[in-house]
Structures are given as structure tokens and as C-alpha cells.
């Protein structure tokens, strides 16, 4: 069977991709969330390697801004995947979650949505955040002031926990009805609506 016949056969799927390949996973995420296509990304498959800045605790993957000193491929935002167990849909979800770090830089209106969400944090959530901050100081040597850590890391964790939950989905019961509405609007924005 020649190429033309194969392309007409039922075996041919022009949209198939290797679900374990980081490039295929990134491309699939960008297809699902077209607003994220406003930037070019580098992606590195370092599954099975130790994440250099976090010692034995490691991490799933790391997002590096284009101009960050630690970016292994400077010039474009880079995602480096470390967890060897990230495969298929979990790999896509993890990549999508890390791309959310870059959304304020490329999606008009994203930063105001983040700020709106930050103003809805309840006193109970804030108490949990302060404990998480202390844990980050102890385990990872976090040295930013709490406010900088919250706006630079924790706020994105809230957003990622709703829009790109991992298999444990530990953020599921975290959100207030008002926060859920903001997060739904954020998802629609990423998909090209609103």
C-alpha cells in the first residue's frame, strides 16, 4: 500500500501523536488552549533526572521564564519535565499547569483575573497559605517575603489546582463559589472565549 492509499485507509489518523512525547503533549495543550499559542516554548524531557535546585524532594517539572538565569534554553519560556511517571494525559495536564505561569505575560486580562482571585482569599485559606510558606522555607529554602511568594508561587498553585489538577486533585475542596466563578472565566479565556 502506498502513502496515498494509506492516508485514505481507516488506519490513518492525522491527529495521532505519541502521548508520552513531551513535544506532542505540549502541542496538544496548545491546541486545546489557543490563547497560550501567543508564545514560543522550549520543552525538555529530563524524566528520571534529579531536579537540580530541589535536592532529593525533586519535582514534577519546572517552568523557566525566557530571561531567567536558570533557564537551560534562554530566549523562550522553557518547561523541563523531571517526573518519569508523567505520561499521557497526566503529562499534558502537568505541562498545561506550568504554562499557566506564563499566561499573565501573553493573555490580555489574565493579570487582572489573578488579582481578582487573590482578593477572594479567605482567612482560613490564608492561614493554610502561611503554613505552606513556612514549609517551603524549611524544605526548599524559600527566602522571598510571604507576599512575594504568594503572588509569585502560591496564587498560581490555586489557579493550577483548579484548571490543571493532578491525579490526587488535592485542591478540589479548596474553592469558594466566588473563586469557582473566576476560575471558570479563566478557563474560558484560555480556550479563546470571553
pLDDT, tens digit, for every residue of 119-167? Answer: 999 999 999 999 999 999 998 889 999 999 999 899 999 999 999 998 8
Mean pLDDT estimate for the chain: 86
Q: What is the chain's length? A: 194
- Asked if residue 60 and residue 133 are part of one domain, the reply reads no
pLDDT at 56: 39
- Asked if residue 25 and residue 47 are part of one domain, the reply reads yes
CB within 8 Å of 103: residues ≥ 6 apart: 35, 36, 110, 190
- Asked if residue 83 and residue 163 are part of one domain, the reply reads no
Higher-confidence position of 104 and 54: 104
- Number of domains, the chain: 2
DSSP secondary structure string, the chain? Answer: --HHHHHHSTT--TT---TT-HHHHHHHHHHH-GGGGGS--EEEE-TTSPPTTSGGG--SEEEE-TT-TT-SSTTS-EEEE--TT--HHHHHHHHHHHHTTTHHHHSTTHHHHHHHHHTT--HHHHHHHHHHHHHHHHHH---S-HHHHIIIIIHHHHHHHHHS--TT-TTTT---HHHHHHHHHHHHHHTT--
pLDDT, tens digit, for every residue of 52-96? Answer: 654 434 578 899 999 988 899 999 999 999 988 888 899 999 999
CA angle 156, 192, 17 (to 5 degrees): 85
Torsion over CA of 43, 45, 48 and 49, rounded to 10 degrees? -60
Q: Which of 107, 135, 150 is the last residue of a domain?
A: 107
Quote the crossing angle between the two packed helices 110-118 and 177-190, to the nearest 10°. Answer: 170
Q: Which of 107, 141, 171 is the last residue of a domain?
A: 107
Torsion over CA of 77, 83, 23 and 70, rounded to 10 degrees? 20
- Asked if residue 119 and residue 49 are part of one domain, the reply reads no
- Asked if residue 142 and residue 173 are part of one domain, the reply reads yes
- Asked if residue 114 and residue 53 are part of one domain, the reply reads no
Range of 151's domain?
Answer: 108-194
Q: Which of 107, 132, 167 is the last residue of a domain?
A: 107
Q: Locate 122 and state its grid cell.
A: 479567605
Q: Does the CA dihedral 107-188-162-50 come out positive or negative?
A: negative
- Smallest CA-to-CA distance from 87 within 22, 131, 137 is with 22
Which residue's C-alpha cell is 503554613?
A: 131
- Give the containing element (helix H, strand E) for 44: strand 42-45
Amino acid at each position: 500500500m502506498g502513502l496515498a492509499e494509506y492516508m485514505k485507509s481507516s488506519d490513518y489518523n492525522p491527529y495521532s501523536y505519541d502521548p508520552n512525547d513531551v513535544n506532542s503533549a505540549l502541542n496538544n495543550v496548545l491546541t486545546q488552549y489557543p490563547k497560550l499559542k501567543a508564545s514560543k516554548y522550549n520543552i525538555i524531557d529530563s524524566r528520571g533526572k534529579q531536579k537540580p535546585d530541589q535536592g532529593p524532594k525533586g519535582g514534577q517539572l519546572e517552568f523557566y521564564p525566557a530571561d531567567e538565569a536558570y533557564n537551560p534554553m534562554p530566549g523562550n519560556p522553557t518547561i523541563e519535565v523531571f517526573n518519569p511517571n508523567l505520561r499521557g494525559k497526566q503529562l499534558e495536564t502537568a505541562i498545561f499547569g506550568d504554562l499557566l505561569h506564563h499566561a499573565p505575560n501573553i493573555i490580555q486580562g489574565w493579570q487582572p483575573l489573578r488579582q481578582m482571585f487573590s482578593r477572594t482569599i479567605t482567612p482560613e485559606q490564608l492561614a493554610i497559605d502561611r503554613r505552606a510558606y513556612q514549609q517551603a522555607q524549611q524544605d526548599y529554602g524559600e527566602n522571598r517575603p510571604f507576599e512575594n511568594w504568594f503572588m509569585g508561587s502560591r496564587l498560581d498553585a490555586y489557579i493550577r489546582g483548579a484548571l490543571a489538577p493532578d491525579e490526587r486533585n488535592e485542591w478540589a475542596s479548596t474553592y469558594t463559589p466566588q473563586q469557582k466563578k473566576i476560575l471558570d472565566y479563566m478557563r474560558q479565556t484560555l480556550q479563546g472565549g470571553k
